[in-house]
Amino acid sequence: MSDIAPEDQNDAARVAELSDLLGHVNSTWDNERRSLARQLHDSVGSSLTALTMHLGLLTAKLPEDPPALRERAVQMKNLLHTIIENNRRMQHKLWNDKLEFLGIKVAFSEAVTEFGEHYRVAARCSLPEDEPACSREHGVALLFALEEGLRNVAAHAGATEVNVIVDDNEDEIMLTVRDNGSGPGAPDAGADKYGLRLVRERARHLGGTLDLKAHPDGGSALTLVLPKTPAP
């Protein structure tokens, strides 16, 4: 006979069901975001690029006088470039294609570099020599954890240095985002708690763990550990 009370068994089964459901929701959400980003690229992006080319051809046919027509054409061209850039940023926020097509090393390196330039902090990224061998689901969880770690640094740390480290071995892959700031913010502060919880649940669904703690040497450290073997 089992020593586990029926109530405890029911609770454990309920937790397992909820974890499985959340994993399915995350996977569906990822696929929807990926699909929408592709549509923005293939449809809207292509149309805007074609408009820019047509406007360039039309501008070349405009007479020198009156100059107001050429000035208006230049304004339209600048507006189109702004729309194209905004469309590109929306695509990137919805789904980072660099992760899928160029791999973890390129996606992480560029994300850390952009963060350092935007917030004017010394941002360094230590990556494995070879491209980590993991599933797309693992890669997405790693990228979301990186983004959450950098958001925490920007929102709470007041840091001047950020170090991102990815360790990859046969059994697991680990991400660490460490800063030299004032430490992590309160875990239940505003909307931040939901971003951290979602990433933590992604990790649990994959059999891994996510922790955000004050580092003994100062600052904070977010650590994600994912096993290579699929979660039971």
Q: How many CB atoms lie within 10 A of CB 117?
A: 10
CA 100, 208, 211, 33 torsion-angle sign: positive
Residues whose CB is less than 8 angstroms from the CB of residue 25 and which lie 6 or more positions away in sequence, other chains included? none
| More confident of the two residues 105 and 98 | 105
What would the mean pLDDT of 80-94 be, rounded to a whole number?
Answer: 82
- Does the structure show a pLDDT above 50 at 103? yes
Is the pTM higher than 0.85? The answer reads no
Strands 172-179 and 220-227: antiparallel
| More confident of the two residues 219 and 194 | 219
Outline where DSSP puts E strands in 95-149: 122-126
Report CA-CA distances (Å) from 58 to 47, 50, 96, 163, 168: 16, 12, 35, 50, 54
| More confident of the two residues 113 and 21 | 113
| More confident of the two residues 95 and 187 | 95
Averaged pLDDT of the chain = 82
Instruction: Give me the pLDDT at residue 20, please.
Output: 72
- Does the structure show a pLDDT above 80 at 167? yes
Q: How many CB atoms lie within 10 A of CB 31?
A: 11
